[in-house]
Amino acid sequence: MTNGDPSVVVRDLVKKFGDFVAVDHINLEAQRGEIFGFLGPNGAGKSTTIRMLCGLLHPTSGWATVAGIDVAREPDKVRERIGYMSQKFSLYNDLRVIENLRFFAGMYEVPASVLPERIRWALAMAGLAGRESSLTATLATGWKQRLALGCAVLHRPPILFLDEPTSGVDPISRRQFWELIHEMAGEGVTVFVTTHYMDEAEYCNRLVLIYRGQIVASGSPAELKQRAMKGELLLVECEPLGRALEILEGAPGVLDAAVFGNALHVVAPQAGRADSTLRPYLNERGIRVTRVEAIRPSLEDVFVSLTTMRGAPPAAPGVPQDEPAPEERPS
């Protein structure tokens, strides 16, 4: 495969659970060696998409190829070429670390000649060297996740699907985990990763924002920030926050306003002009303004801006909600 060949191609992919449309005509292409981020709140359809790409769910319509193979037609051929880490930890807790590694090496037919070296490598990567005989259940979440990654890459797959690999992991472990992902991408592995942590999305080469089963934006993090915002972003520190938000939502020259922490993020066509008009406008209405400053938007701003444009209430990313349907297995 030459560099730049599409590793994952998705066309008009749809998945319905009864009346509920979990994934709604999704199109995307991930290139070899890139970290492809799939960003969205819980329940947006990220896991459903990734499960279809691994052949665990059958698409309602549309198609997808992974490493050039149709997933719906030849799922087992696809499975030989991918590594998958599911959202919930799903290794065997009652097996030892080494037993889990050996088991998955067996499932992926890792040749006996390279097995010891691969296992050594996986243990080193997961930081579990010396803990081979620990029961998996006794590991902390960060180590468990890295062991799961280790098990998923023992057969050196060209494509890796990681479904929320860092949820519930402490910040230091999260950072280490992303360093691993970068290393693998550097070796040419295509990493398809979902997350609902906006800060993690910055690590990706390319991003797709998914909301209610639909792709609302895609591009590199920088592109997204530039393109998606229909104006410039201002940070407004003022008191009281709630009333200020109400006033600004109808104010002239304001495209959007939202609470971020203990300040407001305000989108205006021109940040320079807004600065001079906004302060007196708020002061006249009894709001004490302490600071107005033009800032660079974060992905979270982009996300809020995009979802409010669609006329939907901005479902705050990062707020845990239950992923629908796919978790339940209809009998």
Partner 1 sequence: MNLSRLAAVAHKELIQIFRDPRSLLVVVAMPIVLMFAYGYGVSFDIKRVPICVLDQDGSQRSQDLLKRFQSSEYFRVVNVAGNYREVLADIDRGHCQLAIVIPWNFSQRLAAGGKVEVQAVADASDNNTANVSMSYSEAVIQVYSQQVQLDWLKRHGMAGAGGVSAPIRVDARTWFNEDLESAAGIVPGVVVMVMAVVGTFLTSLTIAREWERGTMEQLISTPVSPMEVMLGKLAPYFVIGILDTTLCAVMGVRWFGVPFRGHWSVFLFSSMLFLIVVLSLGYFFSVVGKSQLAANQMAMLATFLPTFLLSGFIFPIDQMPVAVQVVSWVLPARYFMTIIRSVFLKGTSVAQLQHNLLVLAVFSGLLAFVATRAFHKRLE
Residues binding partner 1 (CB under 8 A): 51, 54-58, 75-77, 79-80, 82, 84, 86, 88-95, 99, 102-104, 106-109, 148, 151, 326, 329-331
Nearest distance from C-beta of residue 11 to partner 1, angstroms: 21
Structure tokens at 202: 């910055």
Q: Which is nearer to partner 1, 105 or 266 (CB)?
A: 105
Q: Which is nearer to partner 1, 187 or 328 (CB)?
A: 328
Q: In Å, how far are 32, 134, 137 from 68, measured between CA atoms? A: 12, 39, 37
Nearest distance from C-beta of residue 106 to partner 1, angstroms: 3
Chain center to CA of 273:
36
Terminal Cα distance for the chain, rounded:
41
Nearest distance from C-beta of residue 126 to partner 1, angstroms: 16
Q: Which is nearer to partner 1, 3 or 331 (CB)?
A: 331
Nearest distance from C-beta of residue 178 to partner 1, angstroms: 22
Crossing angle (nearest 10°) for helices 97-107 and 141-152? 30
Q: Which is nearer to partner 1, 55 or 317 (CB)?
A: 55
Nearest distance from C-beta of residue 6 to partner 1, angstroms: 22
Nearest distance from C-beta of residue 107 to partner 1, angstroms: 4
SS in 3 state form for the chain? CCCCCEEEEEEEEEEEECCEEEEEEEEEEEECCCEEEEECCCCCCHHHHHHHHCCCCCCCEEEEEECCEECCCCHHHHHHHEEEECCCCCCCCCCEHHHHHHHHHHHCCCCCCCHHHHHHHHHHHHCCCCCCCCEHHHCCHHHHHHHHHHHHCCCCCCEEEEECCCCCCCHHHHHHHHHHHHHHHHCCCEEEEEECCHHHHCCCCEEEEEECCEEEEEECHHHHHHHHCCCEEEEEEEECHHHHHHHHHCCCCCCEEEEECCEEEEEECCHHHHHHHHHHHHHHCCCEEEEEEEECCCHHHHHHHHHHHCCCCCCCCCCCCCCCHHHCCCC
Nearest distance from C-beta of residue 294 to partner 1, angstroms: 46
Q: Which is nearer to partner 1, 107 or 222 (CB)?
A: 107
Q: Which is nearer to partner 1, 32 or 51 (CB)?
A: 51
Nearest distance from C-beta of residue 200 to partner 1, angstroms: 22
Nearest distance from C-beta of residue 55 to partner 1, angstroms: 7
Q: Which is nearer to partner 1, 76 or 284 (CB)?
A: 76
Q: Which is nearer to partner 1, 168 or 253 (CB)?
A: 168
Q: Which is nearer to partner 1, 90 or 321 (CB)?
A: 90
Distance CA 24, CA 198 (A): 22
